[in-house]
Chain A
Amino acid sequence: MVTEKDIEQFGKQCENIFTQVSRDVIGQKEVVEGTIIAMIAGGNVLLEGVPGVGKTRLVRSLGRVFDLPFSRIQFTPDLMPADVTGTNIIVKDEHGNSSFEFQPGPIFSNIILADEINRATPKTQSALLEAMQEHTVTVMGTSRKLEEPFFVLATQNPIEQDGTYPLPEAQMDRFMFKLIVPNPTLDELMAIVDMTQKTMAEVAECACNGEQLLKMRETANQIPVADEVLRYAMILTSATHPDSECASEAAKKYIRVGASPRAGQALISAAKVKALIKGRFNVAYSDIEELAYPVLRHRIKMNFEAIAERVSADDAIKMILDEVSKNPKYKK
């Protein structure tokens, strides 16, 4: 049961988290907010951006802010699943007897930075699937639970696609958000250069620990959602399917595969956190609409027509939002 103290704590901690992250990351407000929302809601984040825009720095800063163990895995084509999950190795005891002992991989941490995740082979990428969804790792038939909170913050580069392995839909679906990290503005660029001239190291301090983060998640989960708002979120999700009963015209024209039910779950979970961060005790339509882009953009598969007409996933989502919000049948 949520108490007044929990609500106050949530507000204070959120403020602290944003303050501390802003010490390391200049600009990128939406990306920072999106990442924090996903972390509070318990989702994984895929950060996509060109090199040098601060993706890795953001993740490292978050590790410091949440005071959580942080692992960085640089994905390369020769990276093996065991390099991620860990493996059984033969060890000898004091009597000289050999036995297998599990050597945990870097995934046994709280925050995982999967850098350039699309450079690893699908087999290695798949090693993350179980960890991302069930927060467990199974090696040699033995399942091991990962410590909570557990997040995977992956990055990928939208260019230099040679020698990369695009993430399969199943993998993509495990990410709550896909955030596009834009290039900084001129003012931001000046601030970044100015700051990094002094020190390259992250300076953010701990704003809350893992336990407090879990409590924040619990608090956010209690935020009520009106039936109409919930329905609107589900209609939006369903409208991305070209063959659903709520199929939008944009989906029929440009989308091959729509978003899964996980998208609906992610929308609501994230919207609750967003509402509470804004100091509101209920989810609003605006929360759903704002979160539709990061939640849906990586879950919809565009068709050939969209590619030919250069219609991006974000364009399609905008069309769907316009259509759904104006349709009297799905009236807000």
Chain B
Amino acid sequence: MTNLLKSYNTRLTKEAIIKSLICGLIVGFSALLISSLVFWIVNPALWWLGAIFFALFTTAGTFFFYQKVYRPSARQVAKRIDGLGLEERMLTMTQLEGDDSYIAVRQRQDAISALSTINAKLLKMAISVPLIVCASVTGVLGLGTTTVSALSAAGVISSGKDVIEEVIPPAPKPEFEINYDVKGSGMIEGDVFQIVVQGESATGVLAVPDDDWAFTEWSDGSTNPYREDGNVQENMTIIANFSKLQDGFPGDGDGQPGEDDGAPGDPEQPGKKPGDDGQGIKGGEWEARNQVIDGQTYYGGKTYENAYEDMLEDLAQNGEIPDELRKVIESYFETIEQ
């Protein structure tokens, strides 16, 4: 019987392979469509992975559909042949295979006789139009999205993420207010009032003290007069603290940190500078020589300025510098060295 149906079986196997391939292509194109779409949105540079998915899914789909759906059985072949006008002769014949009763033999003879009257070529391939349409649609969509993804990777068109953000703008992040204020005599260079989006950074501001005043610290403890607040998560009011400077050389002059240099300059106690207690200053604390005011280093104020003028006067009158003045000058140079 196998030989009898061989030519029909071959035709139907071809048909089954084509149908399976179409179904596999539908699966493959669907995978391509989905992967390309995802890559376009997430990372267009990976668009080529879609081609790999397409190949894998097409192969797996074709194999699956052939094995599970379209692989023609003997009865299916018989049914298709019967469709050529054999009135279920072949179907009955396959059912009676192995039956040697007279009626089965006669039925077989009748079926073979009827089969000889038809041509295997009459068995046309039956591929449904919806299947072809489905494959075409998924093909167009799959290749289309791949092209879009590739063009996006090349920078020709926007990525999916951008397009989505254009179409559906993200919910606006909350904004926070930042106020920079001063305590004491000084000013803040930069925007003292800023509105900053959550997580973003504020523009930099610089705390600038007036003459005879020095910046001590910001209200949050930062001692750098320049600040740029980043990753803003709340409304903030930051105050720049300035303190009045006192005349005279700060510190005890021994170059060693004092035991108790006192608090940074206190505008409430004018005339008293840190280190005036003769104990010296601690490292990292207020130090007159570290102050940069109006772009000029503070070198001790009137103490050195007066010493300079006195020295010029003494040189003009006596031709020599008194020991006391010489010490002041030495101290000046030491300060610079430090």
- Bound together, the chains give a CA A222 to CA B102 distance in angstroms of 10
Which of B79, B87, B93 has the largest count of A CB atoms less than 10 A from its CB? Answer: B87
Is the Cβ of A280 less than 8 Å from the Cβ of B79?
A: no
**Closest A residue by C-beta to B106:** A281
- On chain A, the residues within 8 Å of B102 by CB distance are 1-4, 7
Q: Which residue of A lies closest to B78 (CB)?
A: A226
CB within 8 Å of B: which A60-76 residues: none
Are A280 and B110 also in contact (CB < 8 A) when A224-B96, A286-B87 are?
yes
Judged by a CB distance under 8 angstroms, whether A93 is at the interface is: no
Q: Indicate if B272 sits at the interface (CB-CB under 8 A).
A: no
Interface centre among A7, A280, A282, A332 (most CB of B within 10 A): A282
Q: Give the chain B neighbours of A167 by CB distance below 8 A.
A: none
CA separation between A7 and B109, bound complex, in Å? Answer: 14
A280 touches B89 (CB 8 A): yes
A281 and B113 CA atoms in complex are apart in Å by 12
A283 contacts the other chain (CB 8 A): yes
Please provide the chain A residues from 176 to 230 with a CB less than 8 Å away from any CB of chain B in the complex: 222-229
Q: A169–B17 Cα gap in the complex (Å)?
A: 53
A224 touches which one: B75, B79, B87, B104 (CB < 8 A)?
A: B104
Residues of A within 8 A of B103 (CB): 2, 7, 222-224, 281
Is B318 in contact with chain A by the CB < 8 A criterion?
A: no
Q: Is the CB of B87 within 8 A of A7?
A: no
Would A284 and B88 count as touching, CB distance under 8 A? yes
Chain A residue with minimal CB distance to B79?
A: A228
64-110 of chain B: CB within 8 A of chain A: 75, 79, 87-89, 91-93, 95-96, 101-104, 106-107, 110
Q: How far is the CA of A286 from the CA of B102 in the complex (A)?
A: 24
**A284/B87 contact (C-beta < 8 A), A2-B102, A2-B103, A4-B102 known:** yes
Chain A 1-18, CB within 8 Å of chain B: the 1/0 string? Answer: 111100100000000000
Q: Given contacts A1-B102, A4-B102, is CB(A226)–CB(B91) below 8 Å?
A: yes
- A286: chain B residues at CB < 8 Å are 87
CB closest chain-B residue, reference A2: B103
Binary A-proximity of B166-207 (CB < 8 A = 1, otherwise 0): 000000000000000000000000000000000000000000
Nearest CB on B from A11, distance (A): 12
User: How many residues on chain B are close to A (CB under 8 Å)?
Assistant: 18
Contact A282 B101 (CB under 8 A): no
Closest chain-A Cβ to B258's Cβ sits at a distance in Å of: 100
- Cβ distance A272 to chain B, nearest Cβ, rounded Å: 11
Judge whether B88 and A226 touch: CB under 8 Å.
yes
Residues in B whose Cβ lies below 8 Å from that of A3: 102
Residue of A nearest to B96 (CB): A224
- Which residues of the partner chain A approach B79 to less than 8 Å between Cβ atoms? 228, 332
Which partner residue on chain B sits nearest A279 by CB separation? B110
A34 to B139, CA, bound (A): 56
Measured between beta carbons, the chain B residues less than 8 angstroms from A285 are 87-88
Give the residues in chain B near A227, CB-CB below 8 Å: 95
Nearest CB on A from B3, distance (A) = 21
CA distance A3 to B89 in the complex (A): 20
Q: How far is the CB of A98 from chain B (nearest CB, A)?
A: 56
Considering only residues 271-290 of chain A, those with a C-beta below 8 Å from chain B are 280-286
From A3, A4, A222, A225, residue with most partner B Cβ within 10 Å:
A222
From 188 to 243 in chain B, residues with beta carbon under 8 angstroms from any chain A beta carbon are none
Smallest CB gap from A275: residue in B: B87
**B111 surroundings in chain A (CB, below 8 A):** 282
Q: How far does the alpha carbon of A123 sit from the alpha carbon of B143 in the complex, in Å?
A: 78
- A284: chain B residues at CB < 8 Å are 87-89
Given A2-B102, A3-B102, A226-B95, verify A283-B107 contact (CB < 8 Å).
no
CA distance A226 to B103 in the complex (A): 14
A2 to chain B: which residues have CB within 8 Å?
A: 101-103
Q: Is the CB of A229 within 8 A of B106?
A: no
CB of A233 to closest CB in B, whole Å:
12
A332 nearest in chain B by CB position: B79
Docked complex Cα distance between A332 and B86 (Å): 14
How distant is A280 from chain B, measured CB to nearest CB, in Å? Answer: 6
Cβ–Cβ contact A1 & B107, under 8 A: no
Residue of A4, A7, A229 touching B91 (CB-CB under 8 A): A229
User: In the complex, A228→B93 CA distance in Å?
Assistant: 13
A224 touches B106 (CB 8 A): no
12 intermolecular pairs with C-beta atoms under 8 Å apart? A3-B102, A4-B102, A222-B103, A224-B104, A226-B92, A228-B79, A281-B110, A282-B88, A282-B92, A282-B110, A282-B111, A285-B87
Return the 3 tightest CB-CB contacts between A and B, nearest first: A282-B92, A284-B87, A281-B107
Q: Using CB atoms and an 8 Å cutoff, list the residues of chain B in contact with chain A.
A: 75, 79, 87-89, 91-93, 95-96, 101-104, 106-107, 110-111
Told that A281-B89, A332-B79 touch, could you supply 15 new A-B pairs with CB distance under 8 A? A2-B101, A2-B103, A7-B103, A222-B101, A222-B103, A223-B103, A224-B104, A225-B92, A227-B95, A228-B75, A228-B79, A228-B88, A229-B88, A229-B91, A281-B110
